[in-house]
Structure 1
């Protein structure tokens, strides 16, 4: 079954002997009733994949988890209430006092904050590696290394890690490779084909697709499933079935939306490359991107999120530029149908692709790209003549 067919069918009821609704029902429940003690006890052995107690999920959450796991090629998936919850549970499943954790230096800001504000004081030795890393990660691995955390492309400056090479070093040592795959989704980066053991998604973004639900997903290999799922259970995470329903509904159109996001983003990014105010555009789908060859090898496409560096270091002018745009909203998150702008300030231990010059992050939505370009042109001309 091709991916476009999978995305239309997975996680949906299919019955030839009776009428069924196109979409799965929303099942809200805390208590699940059983006919006898034997069936109650039996359900307890598989409480995370079958009905046992509402906190562990109902049919709505299981349908979403199963659909995304199969789409990405993982063993099983866990639905979480947010992307950061998915990050936290995955890291806490492995990072214990006295262990060593390798984390890419271009990681999502709240993930770095979790590492610095909670894991490090807990006694975890967190070490950040250069964003453009492959098999040389072997030089950083220690006997106490418990996981390698990637984000490819990474937040802000969009460098790629060579995950195939990292996995080739980690797998023989029994070290799981985690990857935040939110930017690419299960459609554009086949995580488990590339050696990832735990794939993390802020499903709030492209999977939901409409900026109206908070959701995360952890997709696991068979070897990592029990460790991660038990940690999620210990932490007591639970996800509303209504949000799972919205994610399932968004999933059906994700392939079409991503095609348009890439089409629009490429047009805007190529236009920005030619602007005299712009020093560099950080979008892996561009031929000028330092990791373009790696992106072309490993990815099936690009989404609508990228950044560009201005030649100017006038941050007040940048704020006026963002304030004056008509078609780019100012707000956190991305992945919805609407275009957004933020002015990030990424923290790095290693040399970054940006310096004190203004860094602008765009999410290019589903509007007409000519309107978006006209909006950006007016703002750049007004503030950075």
Structure 2
């Protein structure tokens, strides 16, 4: 039977021969996944990352990334989602029910705060914000406790060991935002051979937008677990929320993973240098960085290993400087872009009015804080840039 050109192009008999092997993971893109026959179509397929049903649920490319991230986090299971925000949203939507309570640290990522305050109450879920440096009070209806290490913007390092132990004793599910640690600074789960001791969280999520990507060009998130029942519960919500990924984005995160430890170490080293230098500047009232003695939660950071730290530090200028002057300082920076996110190649600086984003008293006097995200530029160049920008305060 003669076929038209469109039919021939779609149903072409050629298949690439087996035996291809290369360093990059091949990019498998599909919405439709083909079955061998109707018996294959009707066969039940477990959600195990080894079988294919529809492109939304995974391809060989995304399954490879999920497996590598699970290894990085010392987890058994990993779900990929299209953003860090989706990785924050998934555990709350999957676990919480009407009448439940969720506890959230007061220094939490702003979008998690908005979800907690504005969306969850519509579904009958109550919440409390707690001081991240202390172990929160758990109640009978407390079903989920969020932890963020270090905290968003102000970078206090929480009492992970104390809070996780208290939650385990009461059977309360815990979710750790490990974007800052990136699976490198500490192990969020149970101890693993030849690594530092684990913490015992139930869920560990990351914004893959940050360190795993490293290029400031991909939005993605991950949600990892070690418990199969909890994974199945998360996966059920994941499927019905329609969390899909573009496989070219997956490819870019896979490409970034091998260099992540090198980038993390390099940015950590320069960040500590600049944070320590800024702490001694006469214009500065307070520097927040978990590795600096005196920074809130420094002892908690030491308790979980105290070796690695990320590319962030935050600076509070003395109260004599107005918010307008601080904005002028940020505008005067030449090597620091003004923009959100971090862990990319370019350094960033963003001023924040903290009075609008906290429920509990601020850990410093004044309202304005500048968060620095250190990229991959030369340390001396970044220091010189900050020094010249500080002249506007004079």
Shift of 1:220: 1.3
Corresponding position of 1:270 = 276
Does 2:346 correspond to 1:349?
no
Matches within 5 A, 1:111-190: 111-134=112-135, 137=136, 140-190=137-187
Corresponding position of 1:224 = 230
User: In 1, are the aligned partners of 2:157 and 2:296 still within 8 Å (CA)?
Assistant: no
User: In 2, are the aligned partners of 1:341 and 1:362 still within 8 Å (CA)?
Assistant: yes
Aligned length: 364
Q: Say if 1:360 and 1:41 are closer, same or farther in 2 by CA, change over 3 A.
A: same
Q: Secondary structure at the match of 1:199?
A: strand
Corresponding position of 1:296 = 302
Q: Which runs of 5+ in 1 are unaligned?
A: 1-16
The whole-number CA distance in structure 2 between the counterparts of 1:281 and 1:49 is 47
Corresponding position of 2:370 = 360
- Per-residue CA deviations over 1:297-350 (Å, capped at 9, x if unaligned) read 214400101201100341111111111111000011111111000012342222
The whole-number CA distance in structure 1 between the counterparts of 2:64 and 2:298 is 35
Shift of 1:358: 2.3
Shift of 1:40: 2.8
Shift of 1:43: 5.2
The whole-number CA distance in structure 2 between the counterparts of 1:49 and 1:113 is 36
Q: Secondary structure at the match of 2:111?
A: helix
Corresponding position of 2:13 = none
RMSD: 1.6
User: In 2, are the aligned partners of 1:310 and 1:357 still within 8 Å (CA)?
Assistant: no
Q: Secondary structure at the match of 1:330?
A: coil
User: In 2, are the aligned partners of 1:311 and 1:357 still within 8 Å (CA)?
Assistant: no
TM-score by length of 1: 0.91
Corresponding position of 1:97 = 98
The whole-number CA distance in structure 2 between the counterparts of 1:43 and 1:322 is 57
- Per-residue CA deviations over 1:147-166 (Å, capped at 9, x if unaligned) read 11111110111112222221
The whole-number CA distance in structure 1 between the counterparts of 2:251 and 2:167 is 36
The whole-number CA distance in structure 2 between the counterparts of 1:259 and 1:166 is 28
Q: Which runs of 5+ in 2 are unaligned?
A: 1-17, 190-197
Structure (1 or 2) with the larger CA radius of gyration: 2
Shift of 1:242: 0.8
The whole-number CA distance in structure 1 between the counterparts of 2:282 and 2:317 is 9
Q: Say if 1:329 and 1:27 are closer, same or farther in 2 by CA, change over 3 A.
A: same
TM-score by length of 2: 0.89
Shift of 1:25: 0.7
Does 2:379 correspond to 1:369?
yes
Corresponding position of 1:325 = 333
User: In 1, are the aligned partners of 2:159 and 2:297 still within 8 Å (CA)?
Assistant: no
Q: Secondary structure at the match of 2:176?
A: strand
- Per-residue CA deviations over 1:248-287 (Å, capped at 9, x if unaligned) read 1111100000010011101110110110000011000112
User: In 1, are the aligned partners of 2:188 and 2:204 still within 8 Å (CA)?
Assistant: yes
Shift of 1:41: 3.4
Structure 1 stretches of 4+ with a deviation exceeding 4 A read none
Does 2:21 correspond to 1:20?
yes
Shift of 1:376: 0.6
Shift of 1:355: 3.6
Q: Secondary structure at the match of 2:72?
A: helix
User: In 1, are the aligned partners of 2:173 and 2:202 still within 8 Å (CA)?
Assistant: yes
